[in-house]
Chain A
Amino acid sequence: MALFSRKKHPDGIWNVIAASSVGTLIEWYDFYIFGSLAPIIASQFFPKSNPTAALLSTLATFAAGFIVRPFGALVFGRLGDLAGRKNTFLLTLVIMGGSTFAIGLIPGYDKIGFLAPSLVLILRLLQGLALGGEYGGAATYVAEHAPPERRGYYTSWIQTTATLGLFLSLGVILITRHSLDADRDASIAKFEQWGWRVPFLLSILLVGVSVYIRLRMKESPLFSKLKEEGTVSVNPLKESFTHKGNLKMVLLALFGATMGQGVVWYTGQFYAQTFLETVCKVDFEQTRTIVIYAIMMATPFFIIFGSWSDRVGRKWIMLAGMALAVICYRPIYNQMYHVTDLTGVDRIDALDKEDHVITPVKGGTASLQTTTRVREYDNGIGTREVVKDTLYADGHHALKPVSKLSKLLPGSPYWKLVWLVFFQVLFVTMVYGPIAAFLVELFPTKIRYTSMSLPYHVGNGVFGGLTPFIAVLLSTIYPGDPLVGLWYPIAIAVVCLLIGTLYITNKKHLYVND
């Protein structure tokens, strides 16, 4: 406990942390609910049967994360270094919350046609832009209020928000999904019809509270000092990226820290979920609750590692997290795969169930046959396979029936998976807990917002955001190896680990007031 009890907390620091963290958490929540509800959103706004709508879907998915987020870092970073931290991250919060709320109000493609996916695309791009501007502001704001020797500890609260935002989004989605009707299946059906809008609409309440709190905050003392002295940067973009002394630090931050941190973050919290659902075929809700439990248990470690970095320096904690990820990913995912693998496990034939439902399709030329097969295995794992097949009037079937298999896990393998995901999130806490303090200490006050935002969002948005996509791509190119997708985060983390080890210093730059 000595880790947390060394000194009295400075006046007002908890208000600063609360104002910054709550807003940042809500921004992450807003950003993630779109991703978590992507299949439902696609069916409502981006029908695959229409190529233009599908195209807009691709743009919304790829452009928001990879281009707009770093661009938002530049736009709002510049604004934050010119106009102040408080006003800028207030603006990003309003843009994010407004966009999320508006997505919840847009009528579906069947009601207003192309206008629906076009509006969703614009709002999603605004979300990406706002997210790009938020984090740097919040981290800078807290760091500039924090006492130098406790900067890692206080900024680590900001670091919990990305994970808690994911936690909150998964929780709200699961609760909404089950509370719309007393009957479970009816509730899920209602959620898919209209209930998915609730998590989006809820955002406006959360943002309202957060704006109220942030409006009462004062500007960062260091930025106010610069303003009084008249030394605010005239052109922070130019100073950050054309001045060799700054540019080399921006590049070091990206290649020696945030690039590896980004892939570790996305592997532990997103790819783990994708892997469980698509490769291991674990049930939709179990996959999410596994991630929720793992996050819940690991979140305090953001604070622990952030605080520890005040004592031992930021470098080795972050790099140890990367090294552990590089060494452990394949064994961990191998275990995840084998825990759910049913090869060689005996089936309990007496418990087999099969059910057929035939639904006529409009027009009467065909009907849809849905076959549900429920199986139980000796190790306690149950499977549910739903096969959808089109039966034509002339008697022939669809060329390729659509089949979906999901596994329901009993206690022991379920909790084993929770622990395996927990270890991955633990690596996340090591690389991510101290990184805000590390980035803040790398750049001078007058260009800090701009300079730290870009490497952070390129590292996370581009290198990290690509993790699930590249992992799935690798598994389609090399289908024989279910773990092949891990080579991407491992390769990026190895390069970052080498660069970080060689070039980053472990010295703590206590004085950031210049």
Chain B
Amino acid sequence: MENMNAIKRYAGVIWILLGPVMLGFLLRTAAREVSRNDTTDTWIQWGVFITIFIPIAFGLVLFGWFALKGEYDHLPESSVEIE
């Protein structure tokens, strides 16, 4: 159990890094696609994707942070534990 919790915590670093990597990849692809086809349609499509993925990438970083801090070592089994 101790070992498992240690793995969960160390893996948190991966999720923290994965958020910005994912966003960077998205921004780079968006820039390439927009430069290849510079129309309002393309701008809207990629604008929507980036808008929606910024909070998701932030969420992944936050998830990794929680994991690193040991928040997932034990999952709550009732609302009392959540509150």
Interface residues of A (CB under 8 A from B): 51, 54-55, 58-59, 62-63, 66-67, 70, 243-249, 251-252, 254-255, 444-445, 458, 462, 466, 473, 495, 498-499, 502-505, 507, 509, 511, 514
Q: Is B11 an interface residue (CB 8 A)?
A: yes
**Min C-beta distance of A237 to chain B, whole Å:** 14
Q: Is the CB of B45 within 8 A of A252?
A: no
Knowing A444-B79, A458-B56, A503-B67 are in contact, say whether A54-B41 is a contact too (CB < 8 A): yes
**Are B15 and A66 neighbours in the complex by a CB distance under 8 Å?**
no
Contact B80–A514 (Cβ < 8 Å):
yes
Contacts A243-B82, A503-B75 given; 7 further ones with Cβ under 8 A? A55-B40, A252-B72, A255-B15, A466-B49, A498-B11, A511-B78, A514-B79
Q: Which of B11, B48, B53, B63 contacts A251 (CB 8 A)?
A: B63
- State which residues 13-63 of B face A: CB under 8 Å: 15, 18, 33, 40-41, 44-45, 48-49, 51-53, 56, 59-60, 62-63
Instruction: For the complex, give the distance between the alpha carbons of A499 and B40 in Å.
Output: 37
Q: How many Å lie between the Cα of A255 and that of B42 in the bound state?
A: 28
The interface residues of chain A lying within 8 Å CB-to-CB of B7 are 502
Specify which of B33, B56, B75, B82 lies most central, judged by the most chain A CB atoms within 10 Å of its CB: B82
Q: Return 24 A-B CB contacts under 8 Å, by A number.
A: A54-B41, A55-B40, A55-B41, A55-B44, A58-B44, A58-B45, A62-B45, A62-B48, A63-B48, A67-B48, A70-B52, A243-B82, A245-B83, A246-B82, A248-B63, A248-B72, A249-B82, A251-B59, A255-B63, A462-B52, A499-B15, A499-B63, A503-B67, A507-B77
B60 touches A245 (CB 8 A): no
**Residues of chain A within 8 A of B80, CB atoms compared:** 514
List the B side residues contacting A63 at CB < 8 Å: 48
B interface: dominant SS: helix
Chain A residues within an 8 Å CB radius of B56 = 458, 462
Asked if A66 and B41 make an inter-chain contact with CB atoms under 8 angstroms apart, the answer reads: no
A254 to B58, CA, bound (A): 13
Closest to A445 in B: B79
Interface residues of B (CB under 8 A from A): 7-8, 11, 15, 18, 33, 40-41, 44-45, 48-49, 51-53, 56, 59-60, 62-63, 66-67, 71-72, 75-83
Query: Given the interface contacts A55-B41, A58-B45, A499-B15, does A509 sit within 8 Å of B63 by beta carbon?
Result: no
Chain A min CB distance to B52 (Å): 5
The answer on a CB contact under 8 Å between B76 and A66 is: no
Instruction: Determine the distance from Cα of A501 to Cα of B41 in the docked complex, in whole angstroms.
Output: 39
Decide: A67 near B40, CB < 8 A? Known: A246-B82, A462-B56, A507-B77: no
In the complex, the answer to whether A66 meets B82 with C-beta atoms within 8 Å is no
Complex Cα–Cα for A51 and B51 (A)? 23
Given contacts A66-B49, A67-B51, A462-B52, contact A503 B82 (CB under 8 A): no
With beta carbons under 8 angstroms apart, the residue of A70, A251, A444 that contacts B66 is A251
Given A251-B63, A502-B7, A59 and B78 contact (CB-CB distance below 8 Å): no
Taking CB as reference atom, which chain A residue is nearest B63? A251
The answer on a CB contact under 8 Å between A66 and B77 is no
Are the C-beta atoms of B48 and A505 separated by less than 8 Å? no
Nearest chain B CB to A215 CB, angstrom units: 31
